[in-house]
Chain A
Amino acid sequence: MGYKFRDGMMYRMPTHFGPAFGPRQGPKCRNQFLGLDPGELRRVSVSFRTNSEQLEELIPDGVGLQLREDPVVTVTASYMKELPWLAGGGYNTLGVSFPVIFNGKRDHAEGSFILVLWENLADAILTGRDELGFSKLYADIPEPHIYQGKVHSVAGWMGFKFVDLIVDNMKQLSSEEAKSFSGLKGSAQLHYKYIPKTGDWGKADSAYVTITPLKRGGPPSKVDVWKGDGTVKFHQATWEEMPTQYTIVNTFQKLTIEEYLGAHMVWTQGGKVDDLSHTHILE
């Protein structure tokens, strides 16, 4: 007897071993990890103003997305620990985004368009791509180096370092300033989910815009924030150096940096997991 899919349960490939476990479904039930306390999170972020034309070329045509006024690119490295869905494991990410608005037939929204999000754990990549439409790719993302007021994040792919993200001259905010720091709130995230059709590779099986609304859950139990001067440098790669990703890295390397707009490091503890299951399709 072949198996049947269980109603209401989440599946991913491989579907042949029962419902899939991941951030949004555990062995007990769906949303098993929503609202649990994660461990520490460190986030290093640098923003810069570029020119609108370069960003507009990165927006898919005719899907309702457009650049929101100020062409500001934000590069963020995150280091997460004690995640409930990984039974206490953690992983690191590095994402590139800029602000967009969505005007569709039904929906109107604004937030950060996530161009690419590199992660150093494949399981998180597969769940995020399939379930949410995040443009996740794999990279080596070691822990940041923090030394005498400077934090240095890097990412590489099989030995080729493709980005340096540095925040220097860091000054810690007072606890009152830290609690009201605007960078803690974040923004809604928009994605373009796309899956090619097998055998008919110029066509899509799935192609739609999704949004992850603002983070749910309570404030972290501990917050430290440092502000400083940031720089970000992507390193041009040849096809031989990054055969699956060099077009992405080279596009970022060519972005004009007109002005750096601020940089910070946030270090939090706890704060209730948001499993992002409120991500939905925009029409």
Chain B
Amino acid sequence: MAYKFKPGKMYRMPTSFGPSIGPRQGLNGIVPDGTKQEVTVYSVDFLTNPAQLEEMLPEGFSLDGDPVVHIRYMVQTGIGWLAGRGYQILEFSFPAKFDGERDHVRGEFQPVLWEGMADGCFTGRDEVGFAKMWCELPEPIFFQNYVHCIASWLGFKFMDMKIYNLTDAPKDSKPVDWLKDGKLLLKYIPKTEDWGQADVMYPVLSVRGHYTEGIQTVERQVGHGTVEFHKAEWEELPTLCTIVNTIADLEKRKYVGATKVKSLGTSPVFARVNNLNPARILK
């Protein structure tokens, strides 16, 4: 007997082996305990030319306030849905808003993020619409007065981030809240055969609570930082060169912040506990 899809359950390819297991749906529907999860985020922010950011915005989106680029290197350990394993993430985002027929939201537009683990890439792409790509993201290097994060793809190093002279800052001091309503994305899946057409294309809000609720900040430091993306030939980064080169070309008008923030726990919104919804389609 052929199998039937179970109503209300989430599936991903391959669908032949039952409902999918991942960050938003666990074994028997329950996402495992993420209270042991630790995340350390190294972040460097800089002001750029707003016209360059506007060129990355799809229809319906516009810049919101100062053209501040955030580059974040996240070190994660003890991830519940990976049975305690961890991996690194490199994010690129800037403040934007979406004005649609029904929805008006503000937050961080995230044109691309890289992850050091493939399973995280396609769960996030398929289930939410995160523009996740894979690359090598080793553990940061700590030496003398700096921390150094790098990103590479099959040996070609395309990013260096350094933060110098990190010093303790009050944990409870309110940093600038860039997140507002959440992260803004555009989900896009091409249609097989009709190359150039989409099966799926819609704006998505990855909701704020996903990143904040139930998460405890345990350390906060500030320093001064630099970040460089290195331009690549197609031969060096055959799938990533246009992305990396666009970010490398961004004008750096002024560095406006560099922080290290360490936190504990996973949001119940992320894990869809009590049917909380970590993302929704915008209209």
Contacts and interface: CB of A to CB of B under 8 A. Distances in A.
Contacts of A194: 11-13, 15
Interface string B182-195: 00001111111101
Contact of B234 (A21, A57, A116, A243): A21
Contacts of B125: 13, 126, 130
Interface in A25-57: 26-27, 30, 53, 56-57
B54 A240 contact: no
Instruction: Identify which of B83, B122, B204, B238 gathers the most chain A CB atoms within 10 Å of its CB.
Output: B238
Interface string B227-261: 00000001110110111001000000000000000
B83 A11 contact: no
Contacts of B133: 14, 122-123, 126
10 contacts: A7-B196, A13-B132, A16-B112, A57-B3, A58-B3, A60-B5, A122-B121, A131-B192, A192-B16, A206-B200
B66 interface: no
A85 B238 contact: yes
B175 interface: no
B85 to A, nearest CB: 7
Contacts of A7: 196
A138 B61 contact: no
Contacts of B195: 8, 10, 24, 30, 131, 277
A146 B239 CA distance: 32
Contact of A11 (B84, B132, B134, B188): B188
Interface of A: 1-4, 7-18, 20-22, 24, 26-27, 30, 53, 56-62, 65-66, 85-89, 115-116, 122-123, 125-127, 129-138, 158, 192-202, 204-206, 208, 210, 239-241, 243-248, 251, 277, 279-281
Interface string B58-82: 1111100000000000000000011
A146 to B, nearest CB: 25
Given A2-B57, A195-B199, A205-B199, A56 B2 contact: yes
Nearest to B153: A123
A16 B56 contact: yes
Contacts of B131: 13-16
A29 to B, nearest CB: 12
Contact of B186 (A15, A200, A241): A15
